[in-house]
Copies of this chain bind each other. A is one copy, B any other.
Amino acid sequence: MARFVDVRTMVEWAASRGPEDILVGLIAYLEEDFRDWPGFDKTPRVASHTSFGVIELMPTSTSETYAFKYVNGHPSNPARGYQTVTAFGMLADVHNGYPTFLAEMTLLTAFRTAATSAMAAKLLARPDSRTMAMIGCGSQAEFQALAFRAAGGVTGFRVWDTDPAAMAKLERNLAPYGITVVQAASAADCVAGADIITTCTADKAYATILTAGLVGPGVHVNAIGGDCPGKTELDPAILTKADVFVEFPPQTRIEGEIQQMPDDFPVTELWQVLTGEAPGRTSPEQITVFDSVGFAVEDYSALRFVRDAVEGTEFGEEIDLIAAPADPKDLFGLIAAAVPARA
């Protein structure tokens, strides 16, 4: 039997524990796994692209535990009443290959993406960063705001979205957490004076959400939305004048903002900043960019975190996913045992 956390259970667990506490706990798991980065079996995700969107499988493994996530990305989904991104994932025991834990990951991916952004900002943003501009107020926005406040000490939020209802939704959702957001009049208005700029829009296009003139010295850019081939948000000129940090270069060069740059465009791997093998921010004037596309190790961390958190609680149920005949060579016997005796 494997433990399964469905959507309702994930929602109830998240509400019960509180999203900020989850984000803080998840950042600790992410930091632990990023420090162990060389210990993971890593491969770029396997994507199936259609004109509607993309469906991806994201596997990774340590010598003990295998993880994968199924995730889609369909930018036209919200207009049709569906989530842009839905996901679920699984952990398995490497020793025998048996699944041990399954969970919905639509909600969990939102948590892990925000926690990863906040982990990166702790390393890359100026320590005195207090204000964040958020361009794009979709599903990911609340999670980003809570993660940056909880982990990064950000207290001021200026937001912009071409959809006023999305801005209003973000303001409404964050108010109960004591966060007051300022609705900007444009992207330029939004980023003015911000210490950190988060771009998180959904269009599948080479878009320029942020031009180079809007990014001043000392800013950290948390670039979330450019996460598949043909989908970017940043003016390439920003990348040229910044230091760019990535998760897993073979994947980011295909999917991230740096798909706009030459193959040898210099980047630093985030895990090396965590372990001290590479510098993060080196001066207050430096512009840093976290070119986030989401990597399988982060899903591993998220699944591991929830698995540990719900163990021994009422959250989750056992599901019957592994056929286990008493004689392992007698798989057919399972059917025979269920068939009425023949004459």
Query: A residues within 8 Å of B by Cβ?
Result: 4, 6-8, 10-12, 14-16, 18-19, 41, 43, 46, 48, 50, 52-55, 57, 59, 61, 63, 66, 68, 70, 72-74, 77-78, 80-84, 86, 88, 90, 92, 94-99, 104, 106-107, 110, 137-143, 163, 165-166, 169, 173, 176-177, 319-325, 327-336, 338-339, 341-342
Contacts and interface: CB of A to CB of B under 8 A. Distances in A.
A8 B73 CA distance: 33
A15 B335 contact: yes
Contacts of A46: 43, 46, 57, 59
Contact of A63 (B50, B90, B96, B331): B50
Contact of A77 (B55, B72, B328): B328
A99 B70 contact: yes
A55 B97 contact: yes
Contacts of A92: 55, 70, 72
| Most B C-beta atoms less than 10 A away, residue of A72, A331, A336 | A331
A165 B141 CA distance: 60
Identical subunits present: 2
Which secondary structure dominates where chain A touches chain B? mixed
A57 B84 CA distance: 23
Contacts of A331: 83, 106-107, 110, 139-140
A97 B86 contact: yes
Given A7-B323, A322-B106, A334-B107, A169 B97 contact: no
B83 A324 contact: yes
B86 A323 contact: yes
A80 B93 CA distance: 14
A79 to B, nearest CB: 8
